[in-house]
Amino acid sequence: MNEFSLHVPQSELDDLDDRLARTRWPDELPDAGDEYGISLSRVRGLAERWRRFDWRAHEKELNAYPQFVLDVDGDRVHFLHLRNADPGALPIVLTHGWPGSTVEFLDVVLRLAQHFHVVVPAIPGFGLSGPTTRRGWSQQRVAAAWATLMSELGYRRYGAQGGDWGSGISRHLAVVAPENVVGVHVNYLPTLGPPDGLSESDQARLARTQELSRNRHPHQWLFASGPQTPAYGFTDSPAGLLAFWADKFDRWCDPATPVPDDRILADVAHHWFHRTGGSSARLVKESGVNVPVTCAAPLGVAVLPGDITQSIRPLVEKQYNVRHWTEFPRGGHFAALEVPDLFADDVITFFRTLADG
Protein backbone atom coordinates (compact mmCIF):
# COMPACT_ATOMS: atom_id res chain seq x y z
CA MET A 1 0.00 0.00 0.00
CA ASN A 2 1.54 3.29 -1.12
CA GLU A 3 0.55 6.91 -0.66
CA PHE A 4 -0.61 8.68 -3.80
CA SER A 5 -0.81 12.27 -5.02
CA LEU A 6 -2.36 13.19 -8.34
CA HIS A 7 -0.32 15.21 -10.82
CA VAL A 8 -0.98 15.00 -14.55
CA PRO A 9 2.05 16.11 -16.58
CA GLN A 10 1.67 19.44 -18.35
CA SER A 11 2.33 17.69 -21.66
CA GLU A 12 -0.91 15.73 -21.14
CA LEU A 13 -2.86 18.93 -20.49
CA ASP A 14 -1.37 20.53 -23.60
CA ASP A 15 -2.19 17.47 -25.69
CA LEU A 16 -5.81 17.54 -24.47
CA ASP A 17 -6.18 21.22 -25.35
CA ASP A 18 -4.69 20.62 -28.80
CA ARG A 19 -7.01 17.70 -29.51
CA LEU A 20 -10.08 19.65 -28.38
CA ALA A 21 -9.06 22.62 -30.54
CA ARG A 22 -8.77 20.35 -33.59
CA THR A 23 -12.03 18.44 -33.05
CA ARG A 24 -13.67 17.37 -36.27
CA TRP A 25 -17.31 18.05 -35.44
CA PRO A 26 -20.22 16.06 -36.94
CA ASP A 27 -23.18 17.61 -38.68
CA GLU A 28 -26.61 17.70 -37.07
CA LEU A 29 -30.16 17.73 -38.40
CA PRO A 30 -31.95 21.08 -38.08
CA ASP A 31 -33.89 21.46 -34.83
CA ALA A 32 -32.91 17.93 -33.76
CA GLY A 33 -32.46 18.86 -30.11
CA ASP A 34 -31.51 15.68 -28.23
CA GLU A 35 -33.88 13.42 -30.18
CA TYR A 36 -30.97 11.79 -32.01
CA GLY A 37 -28.54 11.92 -29.10
CA ILE A 38 -26.72 14.64 -27.21
CA SER A 39 -26.86 17.86 -29.20
CA LEU A 40 -23.94 19.42 -31.04
CA SER A 41 -24.34 22.70 -29.19
CA ARG A 42 -24.21 20.93 -25.82
CA VAL A 43 -21.02 19.03 -26.62
CA ARG A 44 -19.31 22.02 -28.24
CA GLY A 45 -20.15 24.12 -25.20
CA LEU A 46 -18.76 21.50 -22.83
CA ALA A 47 -15.64 21.11 -24.96
CA GLU A 48 -14.96 24.85 -24.82
CA ARG A 49 -15.53 24.79 -21.07
CA TRP A 50 -13.14 21.83 -20.78
CA ARG A 51 -10.41 23.85 -22.48
CA ARG A 52 -10.81 26.47 -19.72
CA PHE A 53 -11.32 23.93 -16.90
CA ASP A 54 -8.84 24.42 -14.06
CA TRP A 55 -7.46 20.88 -13.75
CA ARG A 56 -4.78 21.98 -11.30
CA ALA A 57 -7.48 23.25 -8.94
CA HIS A 58 -9.18 19.87 -9.19
CA GLU A 59 -5.89 18.13 -8.41
CA LYS A 60 -5.52 20.38 -5.37
CA GLU A 61 -9.04 19.50 -4.22
CA LEU A 62 -8.39 15.78 -4.57
CA ASN A 63 -4.91 15.93 -3.05
CA ALA A 64 -6.35 17.51 0.09
CA TYR A 65 -7.59 14.00 0.97
CA PRO A 66 -5.34 11.08 1.96
CA GLN A 67 -4.98 8.81 -1.09
CA PHE A 68 -3.38 5.42 -1.56
CA VAL A 69 -2.90 2.72 -4.16
CA LEU A 70 -2.88 -0.99 -3.49
CA ASP A 71 -2.24 -3.95 -5.76
CA VAL A 72 -5.21 -6.31 -5.50
CA ASP A 73 -5.38 -9.49 -7.52
CA GLY A 74 -2.82 -8.22 -10.00
CA ASP A 75 -4.34 -4.81 -10.72
CA ARG A 76 -4.23 -1.39 -9.09
CA VAL A 77 -6.88 0.00 -6.77
CA HIS A 78 -6.75 3.70 -5.94
CA PHE A 79 -8.74 4.93 -2.94
CA LEU A 80 -9.37 7.88 -0.68
CA HIS A 81 -9.24 7.11 3.02
CA LEU A 82 -10.58 9.64 5.50
CA ARG A 83 -10.32 8.54 9.13
CA ASN A 84 -12.77 9.78 11.71
CA ALA A 85 -11.38 11.29 14.93
CA ASP A 86 -13.05 8.45 16.85
CA PRO A 87 -11.08 5.22 16.29
CA GLY A 88 -14.25 3.27 17.07
CA ALA A 89 -16.33 4.94 14.34
CA LEU A 90 -17.91 2.65 11.76
CA PRO A 91 -15.99 2.39 8.47
CA ILE A 92 -17.99 2.63 5.24
CA VAL A 93 -16.88 1.94 1.69
CA LEU A 94 -18.50 4.02 -1.08
CA THR A 95 -18.62 2.61 -4.62
CA HIS A 96 -19.34 4.70 -7.70
CA GLY A 97 -20.95 3.57 -10.95
CA TRP A 98 -20.59 4.18 -14.68
CA PRO A 99 -19.90 6.67 -16.21
CA GLY A 100 -18.73 7.75 -12.80
CA SER A 101 -15.49 7.74 -10.85
CA THR A 102 -14.15 8.91 -7.50
CA VAL A 103 -15.52 12.33 -8.47
CA GLU A 104 -19.04 11.13 -7.61
CA PHE A 105 -18.35 11.38 -3.87
CA LEU A 106 -16.20 14.51 -3.61
CA ASP A 107 -19.15 16.62 -2.45
CA VAL A 108 -20.04 14.28 0.44
CA VAL A 109 -16.81 12.78 1.81
CA LEU A 110 -16.11 15.50 4.36
CA ARG A 111 -19.64 15.36 5.74
CA LEU A 112 -19.58 11.57 5.96
CA ALA A 113 -16.13 11.62 7.56
CA GLN A 114 -17.66 13.48 10.52
CA HIS A 115 -19.48 10.22 11.34
CA PHE A 116 -17.48 7.38 9.75
CA HIS A 117 -14.11 6.23 8.55
CA VAL A 118 -14.66 6.73 4.80
CA VAL A 119 -13.04 4.64 2.05
CA VAL A 120 -13.68 5.66 -1.56
CA PRO A 121 -12.06 3.28 -4.07
CA ALA A 122 -12.07 3.64 -7.84
CA ILE A 123 -13.31 0.46 -9.49
CA PRO A 124 -10.42 -1.30 -11.29
CA GLY A 125 -10.56 -0.14 -14.90
CA PHE A 126 -12.02 3.25 -13.89
CA GLY A 127 -10.24 6.57 -13.53
CA LEU A 128 -7.55 6.71 -10.89
CA SER A 129 -7.27 2.93 -10.59
CA GLY A 130 -6.19 2.82 -14.23
CA PRO A 131 -6.96 0.19 -16.88
CA THR A 132 -7.27 -3.43 -15.85
CA THR A 133 -4.67 -5.81 -17.26
CA ARG A 134 -6.42 -9.14 -16.67
CA ARG A 135 -9.71 -10.76 -17.59
CA GLY A 136 -12.48 -11.42 -15.13
CA TRP A 137 -13.01 -8.08 -13.39
CA SER A 138 -16.73 -8.60 -12.79
CA GLN A 139 -18.68 -6.83 -10.08
CA GLN A 140 -18.31 -9.99 -7.96
CA ARG A 141 -14.52 -9.78 -8.28
CA VAL A 142 -14.57 -6.07 -7.46
CA ALA A 143 -16.53 -6.91 -4.30
CA ALA A 144 -13.89 -9.49 -3.35
CA ALA A 145 -11.22 -6.83 -3.93
CA TRP A 146 -13.08 -4.48 -1.59
CA ALA A 147 -13.12 -7.19 1.08
CA THR A 148 -9.35 -7.49 0.68
CA LEU A 149 -8.92 -3.72 0.79
CA MET A 150 -10.97 -3.30 3.97
CA SER A 151 -9.07 -6.16 5.59
CA GLU A 152 -5.76 -4.55 4.65
CA LEU A 153 -6.94 -1.35 6.31
CA GLY A 154 -7.66 -3.32 9.48
CA TYR A 155 -11.45 -2.99 9.32
CA ARG A 156 -13.42 -6.03 10.49
CA ARG A 157 -16.92 -4.53 10.57
CA TYR A 158 -18.01 -1.99 7.99
CA GLY A 159 -20.90 -0.73 5.91
CA ALA A 160 -21.19 -0.44 2.13
CA GLN A 161 -22.91 2.13 -0.06
CA GLY A 162 -23.38 2.44 -3.80
CA GLY A 163 -25.52 3.35 -6.78
CA ASP A 164 -25.45 1.99 -10.34
CA TRP A 165 -22.54 -0.52 -10.41
CA GLY A 166 -21.87 0.47 -6.81
CA SER A 167 -25.25 -0.92 -5.79
CA GLY A 168 -24.48 -4.38 -7.19
CA ILE A 169 -20.90 -4.34 -5.93
CA SER A 170 -22.02 -3.33 -2.43
CA ARG A 171 -24.58 -6.13 -2.29
CA HIS A 172 -22.01 -8.61 -3.64
CA LEU A 173 -19.63 -7.44 -0.92
CA ALA A 174 -22.20 -8.45 1.69
CA VAL A 175 -22.30 -11.91 0.08
CA VAL A 176 -18.51 -12.18 -0.15
CA ALA A 177 -17.92 -10.95 3.41
CA PRO A 178 -21.17 -11.59 5.34
CA GLU A 179 -19.41 -11.57 8.71
CA ASN A 180 -17.93 -8.14 8.01
CA VAL A 181 -20.65 -6.11 6.30
CA VAL A 182 -23.06 -4.69 8.88
CA GLY A 183 -25.38 -3.12 6.33
CA VAL A 184 -25.75 -1.96 2.74
CA HIS A 185 -27.21 1.35 1.59
CA VAL A 186 -28.13 1.73 -2.09
CA ASN A 187 -29.55 4.55 -4.18
CA TYR A 188 -30.36 2.35 -7.17
CA LEU A 189 -32.15 -0.99 -7.06
CA PRO A 190 -34.19 -2.08 -10.11
CA THR A 191 -37.05 -4.26 -8.91
CA LEU A 192 -39.00 -6.89 -10.84
CA GLY A 193 -41.73 -9.27 -9.69
CA PRO A 194 -45.45 -10.05 -9.96
CA PRO A 195 -47.84 -7.08 -9.92
CA ASP A 196 -50.29 -8.81 -7.55
CA GLY A 197 -51.25 -6.60 -4.64
CA LEU A 198 -49.22 -3.60 -5.75
CA SER A 199 -50.59 -0.09 -5.51
CA GLU A 200 -51.28 1.84 -8.69
CA SER A 201 -48.10 3.87 -8.26
CA ASP A 202 -46.01 0.74 -7.67
CA GLN A 203 -47.53 -0.90 -10.75
CA ALA A 204 -46.43 2.15 -12.75
CA ARG A 205 -42.93 1.73 -11.35
CA LEU A 206 -42.98 -1.95 -12.24
CA ALA A 207 -44.05 -1.19 -15.81
CA ARG A 208 -41.18 1.25 -16.17
CA THR A 209 -38.66 -1.23 -14.80
CA GLN A 210 -39.98 -3.98 -17.07
CA GLU A 211 -39.58 -1.66 -20.04
CA LEU A 212 -35.99 -0.92 -18.99
CA SER A 213 -35.32 -4.65 -18.63
CA ARG A 214 -36.71 -5.40 -22.11
CA ASN A 215 -34.95 -2.47 -23.75
CA ARG A 216 -31.56 -2.11 -22.14
CA HIS A 217 -29.61 1.04 -22.84
CA PRO A 218 -27.81 0.56 -26.17
CA HIS A 219 -24.38 1.14 -24.66
CA GLN A 220 -24.88 -1.89 -22.40
CA TRP A 221 -25.33 -4.21 -25.36
CA LEU A 222 -22.34 -2.58 -27.09
CA PHE A 223 -20.16 -2.98 -24.00
CA ALA A 224 -21.39 -6.52 -23.38
CA SER A 225 -20.63 -7.66 -26.92
CA GLY A 226 -17.47 -5.76 -27.84
CA PRO A 227 -16.10 -3.13 -25.43
CA GLN A 228 -12.81 -2.97 -27.33
CA THR A 229 -14.50 -1.44 -30.39
CA PRO A 230 -15.61 1.88 -28.82
CA ALA A 231 -12.37 1.99 -26.79
CA TYR A 232 -10.48 3.41 -29.77
CA GLY A 233 -12.72 6.44 -29.96
CA PHE A 234 -12.83 6.88 -26.18
CA THR A 235 -9.02 6.82 -25.99
CA ASP A 236 -8.19 8.91 -29.07
CA SER A 237 -10.91 11.58 -29.11
CA PRO A 238 -11.62 13.66 -26.00
CA ALA A 239 -14.70 15.11 -27.72
CA GLY A 240 -15.97 11.59 -28.42
CA LEU A 241 -15.44 10.52 -24.81
CA LEU A 242 -17.04 13.73 -23.57
CA ALA A 243 -20.13 13.30 -25.74
CA PHE A 244 -20.69 9.69 -24.69
CA TRP A 245 -20.20 10.40 -20.98
CA ALA A 246 -22.05 13.73 -20.81
CA ASP A 247 -25.06 12.25 -22.61
CA LYS A 248 -25.60 9.87 -19.69
CA PHE A 249 -25.03 12.51 -17.02
CA ASP A 250 -27.61 14.73 -18.73
CA ARG A 251 -30.21 12.05 -19.46
CA TRP A 252 -30.04 10.15 -16.18
CA CYS A 253 -30.20 13.08 -13.78
CA ASP A 254 -33.28 14.82 -12.48
CA PRO A 255 -33.73 17.95 -14.66
CA ALA A 256 -34.38 19.83 -11.42
CA THR A 257 -30.94 18.83 -10.06
CA PRO A 258 -28.52 18.64 -13.00
CA VAL A 259 -24.99 17.43 -12.38
CA PRO A 260 -22.74 20.54 -12.41
CA ASP A 261 -20.77 20.84 -15.64
CA ASP A 262 -17.44 21.08 -13.83
CA ARG A 263 -18.13 17.77 -12.07
CA ILE A 264 -18.97 16.19 -15.42
CA LEU A 265 -15.72 17.53 -16.87
CA ALA A 266 -13.66 16.36 -13.88
CA ASP A 267 -15.14 12.88 -14.20
CA VAL A 268 -14.52 12.71 -17.96
CA ALA A 269 -10.98 13.99 -17.41
CA HIS A 270 -10.29 11.17 -14.94
CA HIS A 271 -11.14 8.68 -17.68
CA TRP A 272 -9.30 10.66 -20.36
CA PHE A 273 -6.00 11.14 -18.56
CA HIS A 274 -5.93 7.59 -17.20
CA ARG A 275 -7.15 6.04 -20.48
CA THR A 276 -10.00 4.13 -18.88
CA GLY A 277 -12.84 4.85 -21.28
CA GLY A 278 -12.40 1.39 -22.80
CA SER A 279 -11.47 -0.55 -19.66
CA SER A 280 -14.47 0.82 -17.75
CA ALA A 281 -16.69 -0.56 -20.52
CA ARG A 282 -15.31 -4.07 -19.93
CA LEU A 283 -17.14 -4.33 -16.61
CA VAL A 284 -20.38 -4.98 -18.50
CA LYS A 285 -18.91 -7.85 -20.52
CA GLU A 286 -17.22 -9.36 -17.46
CA SER A 287 -20.32 -9.05 -15.25
CA GLY A 288 -23.11 -9.74 -17.70
CA VAL A 289 -26.46 -7.97 -17.98
CA ASN A 290 -29.36 -8.57 -15.56
CA VAL A 291 -27.30 -10.63 -13.10
CA PRO A 292 -29.34 -10.83 -9.86
CA VAL A 293 -27.73 -10.57 -6.44
CA THR A 294 -29.45 -10.74 -3.07
CA CYS A 295 -27.74 -10.33 0.27
CA ALA A 296 -28.87 -11.01 3.83
CA ALA A 297 -27.37 -7.83 5.28
CA PRO A 298 -29.68 -5.08 6.55
CA LEU A 299 -30.59 -2.88 3.60
CA GLY A 300 -31.26 0.83 3.29
CA VAL A 301 -32.85 2.10 0.08
CA ALA A 302 -32.96 5.66 -1.22
CA VAL A 303 -35.40 6.14 -4.11
CA LEU A 304 -34.89 9.18 -6.31
CA PRO A 305 -37.77 10.45 -8.47
CA GLY A 306 -35.57 11.39 -11.43
CA ASP A 307 -33.65 8.13 -11.59
CA ILE A 308 -33.99 5.81 -14.57
CA THR A 309 -36.03 3.43 -12.41
CA GLN A 310 -37.56 3.48 -8.91
CA SER A 311 -37.51 0.62 -6.43
CA ILE A 312 -40.77 -1.03 -5.34
CA ARG A 313 -40.82 -1.60 -1.61
CA PRO A 314 -43.19 -4.61 -1.37
CA LEU A 315 -41.08 -6.49 -3.93
CA VAL A 316 -37.77 -5.47 -2.35
CA GLU A 317 -38.99 -6.64 1.05
CA LYS A 318 -39.61 -10.11 -0.37
CA GLN A 319 -35.90 -10.43 -1.16
CA TYR A 320 -34.07 -8.26 1.38
CA ASN A 321 -33.95 -7.36 5.04
CA VAL A 322 -35.12 -3.77 4.58
CA ARG A 323 -34.37 -1.59 7.60
CA HIS A 324 -34.61 1.86 6.04
CA TRP A 325 -36.50 3.36 3.09
CA THR A 326 -36.48 6.95 1.87
CA GLU A 327 -38.39 8.52 -1.01
CA PHE A 328 -36.33 11.55 -1.97
CA PRO A 329 -38.22 14.69 -3.09
CA ARG A 330 -35.76 15.31 -5.92
CA GLY A 331 -32.63 13.90 -7.52
CA GLY A 332 -31.78 11.33 -10.15
CA HIS A 333 -29.24 8.63 -10.92
CA PHE A 334 -26.25 10.51 -9.51
CA ALA A 335 -27.50 11.12 -5.99
CA ALA A 336 -24.23 12.19 -4.36
CA LEU A 337 -23.61 14.74 -7.12
CA GLU A 338 -27.18 15.98 -7.55
CA VAL A 339 -28.44 16.17 -3.96
CA PRO A 340 -25.32 15.74 -1.78
CA ASP A 341 -26.95 16.98 1.42
CA LEU A 342 -29.97 14.68 1.12
CA PHE A 343 -27.70 11.80 0.16
CA ALA A 344 -25.30 12.27 3.09
CA ASP A 345 -28.17 12.69 5.57
CA ASP A 346 -29.75 9.44 4.41
CA VAL A 347 -26.53 7.43 4.60
CA ILE A 348 -25.84 8.77 8.08
CA THR A 349 -29.41 8.03 9.23
CA PHE A 350 -29.35 4.47 7.90
CA PHE A 351 -26.11 3.44 9.57
CA ARG A 352 -27.07 5.25 12.79
CA THR A 353 -30.33 3.28 12.74
CA LEU A 354 -28.32 0.05 12.59
CA ALA A 355 -26.14 1.16 15.49
CA ASP A 356 -29.16 2.16 17.60
CA GLY A 357 -30.93 -1.10 16.73
Mean pLDDT of each 10-residue bin along the chain, 357 residues long? 96 98 96 93 98 98 98 94 96 98 98 98 98 95 97 97 97 97 97 92 94 84 93 98 98 97 98 98 88 91 97 96 98 98 98 82
> How many distinct structural domains can be found in the chain?
1
Contact present, 171 and 291 (Cβ < 8 Å): no
Does some domain include residue 27?
no
The per-residue pLDDT for 107 is 98
Does some domain include residue 28?
no
The per-residue pLDDT for 354 is 87
Contact present, 290 and 213 (Cβ < 8 Å): yes
Please report which residue ranges of the chain form alpha helices under DSSP H: 10-21, 40-52, 55-63, 109-113, 139-152, 165-176, 200-214, 218-225, 228-236, 238-252, 261-273, 277-287, 313-319, 335-338, 340-356
Contact present, 246 and 271 (Cβ < 8 Å): no
Does some domain include residue 33?
no
Does some domain include residue 227?
yes
The per-residue pLDDT for 180 is 98
Number of Cβ within a 10 Å radius of residue 48 = 12
CATH of the domain at 224: 3.40.50.1820
**CA-closest candidate to residue 118, choices 108, 128, 129:** 108
The per-residue pLDDT for 113 is 98
What is the C-alpha separation between 255 and 350, in angstroms, rounded? 27
**CA-closest candidate to residue 268, choices 79, 66, 41, 55:** 55
Q: What is the DSSP string of 91-109?
A: EEEEE--SS--GGGGTTTH
List the domain range (segments joined by +) for residue 87: 2-21+48-356
* E strand or H helix that includes residue 325: strand 321-327
Does some domain include residue 40?
no
**CA-closest candidate to residue 158, choices 121, 117, 188, 120:** 117
Does some domain include residue 42?
no
Does some domain include residue 229?
yes
Sign of the CA dihedral running 38, 329, 118, 282: negative
